[in-house]
A and B are shown apart, each in its own frame.
Chain A
């Protein structure tokens, strides 16, 4: 047999070494990363990111500490696996952050042996056990590597044979640590995603090894603790020693992030009220995900920086402004002169130098920007003061969160609203304790900031408030005097009573001071600072992000873009030939599918294919006489057939069983 030769010929795969290849590859993004706007953007974003990380750490600190404590102290002597149910909330995209922090903390403080499982990897008990043992044993071989990417797991599989990944070998492996007996922690990140049968078997198996392996389980539960009870039978749960921990509600994380990072004058850029409102409503209405919120904001910042070159230089922290202003070139200055608020400023000041003299303009810009920063500082302090005053008023006219106050204040002059008046009135009913604590809080804020004069004035009033308690005002001691009711008839009495009620009881000492304080804060201090700075400040466009397109980009629509593309291909293709004057117009130069689509919009729920073809061909050849309708160019027919097939693929039509020569429309109306 001659053929047998071929057996010796084989294909030999040479796997190129990975390291070299990586070096040769150029970073495809290098073109972008070297641009000015990108550098400016990264600087800003890095500072924000740093703050975000700190805040996340703070928010999770307590929870993580509790968890680690429990795992450290968990009792292994009773025949049950210590198990943590960690209620993480439904914000699924945020979980990885939490779990990564949890793992790092555990590895730092309790044990290096932590396994993270996600339901995708664990479709059967075999896979689950393989994953667990593989991750445990791999860790010890490669010393401890802090970040496990998915790649790493695959790589490690080459060291460890899959068939060796089973419980007996894990027990053998654990014998190495006999002296220290570190704990083994297995984390099931998304408990709901696991098949109950797999979890049951896993628990049964693990509980069999409890005497030789000190295992602790952690279930990440997104809904409620009832989910565990529902998917595991009593037989299984009796083998677990369950303890529930709950992380903060995700709204808390949002408020925290927003208050401390974005809504402060230290943040180099500002979000407009509308945009901010839009992002928070996405958060509250859709996903509870802080991650997504941050990514949305990140996108907008990037866009903002990308569009104007001058932004990347000027939308920075104060200490960098001076250097950056000198870097402004002619293009930038031209750009800045086009900014509406600056234009208006030039017109108002009638300073011709601003148009002609570049150096002068640069200096002016710096001055204006510093002024803007100062305005911002004042605005935020004013807003904080207002927030302290109104946050716990009955029915919270401005909402209970700082972000809500911010949204209102950015959209309109808050002092002219009816809510502001309502607050003013409600504040005059405050009890002394409440007022004192509020004044103290306000005092703290003012002292930190730039309002030292106002703080001093407030302190005076505060002292007055404190002294009231000590020296009760004299008229309090007066016993109610007899009223001389010298009247002859009923109508006179009524008149007199009405007069007396108008006078009202005399104001007590505390009430007078209270009114003084409230008036001082609400009438003389706040109104000048908390008006939207977009109205009076100049150059605010540079630091304010108010992208209207963000809506479509951050929350993509489903049907709108497809409809636009098919209805008006010019919108995307930007070709001259398909320009439409009227939306309903059909032009023969449009792609076939667009023609077919626009024709089908005119039809009813059932469309006759033949009629459709006729109109299709009429559009392609308008000169075609209508007398001999039967002869249709085969090319046209083929094009039509293809267009219909494409529409069917896109899900707009479907062949109908009722009438074979008709198709059914699947969409109703147009969604724009």
Chain B
């Protein structure tokens, strides 16, 4: 038990609870345990380590993988019996389980991780597993559901025992992260580092895995001034000042998952080889006509067709005064309402209106549109409508604006505002 406590420093309560439910020998098991909690709070590892530690027979199934019944059933049986049995239906599974429990008196646990995916397989499976004890007619078998959703979201009987794994608090995180301490540095130094790191990162994420990654990534930079001998090891404030810019840099990347330092743009070195083109741009690089198509798609999506005449024709007559009053309302709605569908004809009409030179309508030109759809910059609405295909633009103003700028086109000119 002590081992487990040491492995999982802040999970003592939960481990005790699990032990109370599963640890007593010769006591009937409860039918279902539901363990909930956010991702990366130790649900899976705690339960697996516990079961391994006490050498209880168990099957651990990640429900995401079980896209077929057979996979689910056979994996349970393989892990519990050690034999590969063919098992297609739930009834067969129960039959095999019955055989299994009748032979020996040990405990059998089935852990279903990601229980919410079970519903995707079959809506009834969740309730069926809830009553597994009843079906198998034996109290030596128990099902443990693990899920990041709350138990209320499931079709669950109220009597089911639920164990909640709460999110780690700051102190707890500190405690856990201390375990990752590299060998060659002192306790206080590392603790100071963790303190400053958590102060910044805690606002953005509580995911332990991510935190570990951030902490280990930045530690080297934290140590740098000490190694160089510039800063005393105990001078927390100076070290803090040194590391802060690096922290902020990694904060930016948390949600995209891309750390900015890791972006290794492959630039051609002019000294090594002959350079013919040196420009490396990070903006969307599209062929000339595709750019125009993207811009026209954006314009078609965010302008109402009734304004087309005004926006794209040279002699559109005088602008009525009344329009100015309506525009205030319009501006609020146009961007907020999101893109609207437009037919192909309108796209082509706007395309030709904003393009200065003539491009003949060839097959190649039409494939540009499907390329954009393939790249998920446009989407096609209603696959069945061959005669009048409709599209929607999926990119935002900022992206289109940068694309337009590369063409020297002012997109604001064509937008109502």
Contact = CB atoms under 8 A, between A and B. Distances in A.
Interface of A: 62-63, 66, 78-80, 85, 89-90, 92, 124-126, 129, 163, 166-168, 190, 192-193, 201, 204-205, 208, 222-229, 232, 234-235, 237-252, 255-256, 259, 282-288, 401-402, 555-559, 651, 671
Contacts of A229: 255-258
A222 B363 CA distance: 22
B385 to A, nearest CB: 14
Contacts of A284: 287-288
B67 A244 contact: no
Contacts of A401: 276-277
A90 B67 CA distance: 33
A243 B264 contact: yes
B75 A62 contact: no
A286 B287 contact: yes
A487 to B, nearest CB: 53
B236 interface: no
7 contacts: A166-B65, A192-B375, A192-B376, A208-B64, A235-B39, A243-B262, A402-B276
B399 to A, nearest CB: 8
B90 to A, nearest CB: 18
Interface stretch (B98-106, B329-337, B366-374): B366-374
B199 interface: no
Q: Give the residue among A125, A166, A237, A285 with the most B Cβ atoms within 10 A.
A: A285
Contact of B257 (A163, A240, A250, A282): A240
A294 to B, nearest CB: 16
B216 A205 contact: no
Nearest to B260: A244
Given A126-B68, A224-B284, A286 B364 contact: yes
Nearest to B286: A90
Contacts of A282: 364
Contacts of B40: 238
Given A252-B268, A287-B371, 12 more contacts: A78-B212, A79-B209, A163-B70, A166-B65, A168-B75, A205-B62, A235-B39, A244-B265, A245-B264, A288-B285, A288-B286, A557-B361
A246 B266 contact: yes
A242 B366 contact: no
A192 B363 contact: no
A555 B360 CA distance: 10
Interface residues of B, number: 61
Given A79-B209, A252-B268, A252-B276, A242 B258 contact: yes
B363 A167 contact: no
Contacts of B75: 168
Contact of A208 (B65, B289, B360, B376): B65
B26 interface: no
Nearest to A200: B64
B401 to A, nearest CB: 15
A256 B276 CA distance: 7
B263 interface: yes
B284 A166 contact: no
Nearest to B276: A255
Q: Which 8 A-B pairs have the closest CB atoms?
A: A237-B257, A229-B256, A255-B276, A285-B288, A252-B277, A126-B67, A244-B263, A204-B64
Contacts of A125: 67
A111 B297 CA distance: 44
Contact of B362 (A205, A227, A555): A555
Contacts of A90: 285-287, 290, 371, 375
B257 A238 contact: yes
A248 B364 contact: no
A671 B362 CA distance: 11
Nearest to B208: A79
A228 to B, nearest CB: 8
B166 to A, nearest CB: 18
A124 B276 CA distance: 43
Nearest to B359: A285
Contacts of B416: none
A200 B277 CA distance: 37
A190 B209 CA distance: 28
A224 B367 CA distance: 21
Contacts of B387: 651
A222 B287 CA distance: 13
B368 A286 contact: yes
Q: Give the residue among A78, A222, A651 with the most B Cβ atoms within 10 A.
A: A222
Q: Give the residue among A205, A243, A249, A286 with the most B Cβ atoms within 10 A.
A: A286
B158 interface: no
Contacts of A256: 276
B266 A555 contact: no
B285 A89 contact: yes
Contact of A238 (B71, B210, B289, B376): B210
Contacts of A222: 375
B266 A62 contact: yes
Given A66-B264, A237-B257, A249-B285, A558 B361 contact: yes
B279 interface: yes
B78 interface: yes
Contact of A224 (B282, B289, B360): B282
Contacts of B205: 238
Contacts of B323: none
